[in-house]
Amino acid sequence: MRRKGFLIVLSGPSGAGKNSVMNAVFPTIPNLKYSVSVTTRPPRKGEVDGVDYFFRTEEEFDELIQQDKLLEYATFVGYRYGTPKDFVMEQIANGNTVIMDIDIQGASQIRQKMPEAVFVFLLPPTRAELEKRLTLRGSDAQGEIAKRLQKSWEELQHVVHYDYFIINDELSRAAEQLRNIILSESSKVSRIDLAELQSLWEGRG
Ligand code: 5GP
């Protein structure tokens, strides 16, 4: 049965494993869509424009803000990041579940605008493990890693504003937990469209 679409906001320190966990969940939930963000950060090796991010200049980013095209935006360690509004709204209107990977500042903007969204925080098991993952990933310079680590405890304390938290000590377990959260949330009575339920009930669905 078609449900009302909704939004899942996934936050957590850079290097917590948000991409890996989401990638493990995507093939298992057909109507789950990823919101590709816009950023002024340069692409890392292997990142593709339009897939990982929309890579834009500062001027282009300003233009998006002026045209009210972003649902939220924030600056994170020197670069700007934002969520394209039209995509999210269209997908939700079509009954899909949209998942976005955004920082705590962006999440707090979404909380104001869309309180019915679901907020999930992904935690690495320890600071040492986070450092190891960021270093192994090798995609950021040493200075960048230090900045991201420094920010991690500040970020972690915001977990109290989220609905769910997942500790990513083992990828398959963390992915299972995220999947369970999404499935439970989509079974909430508030996501049912009564007209849809009636037409199913009467055999018109
Ligand atoms: P990275 O540069 O490691 O890809 O991302 C850095 C941080 O920016 C991460 O915490 C990520 O969640 C956040 N981020 C990515 N896209 C967005 C966005 O559209 N809006 C906001 N507010 N944060 C974002």
Return the domain boundaries, the chain.
Answer: 6-35+96-204
CA of 30 to the centre of ligand 1 (A): 24
CA of 36 to the centre of ligand 1 (A): 10
- Taking residue 100's Cβ as centre, other Cβ atoms within 10 Å add up to 24
Q: Is the pLDDT of residue 5 over 70?
A: yes
At position 204, the amino acid (one-letter code) is R
pLDDT digits (tens, 9 = 90+) for 112-170: 999 999 999 999 888 888 888 888 877 777 788 888 888 888 888 999 999 999 999 99
Report the nearest-CA residue for atom 3 of ligand 1.
14
Q: What is the CATH T-level fold of the domain 6-35+96-204, as seen in this structure? A: Rossmann fold (3.40.50)
Which residues does a 6 A CB cutoff place in the pocket of ligand 1?
Answer: 14, 37, 41, 72, 74, 76, 81-83, 101-103, 105-106
Place of tokens 């579940």: 97
Q: Is the pLDDT of residue 205 over 70?
A: no
The DSSP result for 80-145, as a single string, is: EEEEEHHHHHHHHHTT-EEEEE--HHHHHHHHHH-TTSEEEEEE-S-HHHHHHHHHHH--S-HHHH
Residue-level pLDDT at 138: 74
**Token pair in block for residue 46:** 């292997």
- CA-CA distance, 48 to 58, in Å (whole number)? 19
* Maximum separation of any 2 CA atoms in the chain, in Å: 62
Report the nearest-CA residue for atom 1 of ligand 1.
14
CA of 191 to the centre of ligand 1 (A): 28
Q: Is the pLDDT of residue 66 over 90?
A: yes
Residue-level pLDDT at 58: 98
- Taking residue 197's Cβ as centre, other Cβ atoms within 10 Å add up to 14
Burial pattern 64-89, b for ≥16 Cβ within 10 A else e, equals beeeebbbbbbebeeebbbbbbebbe
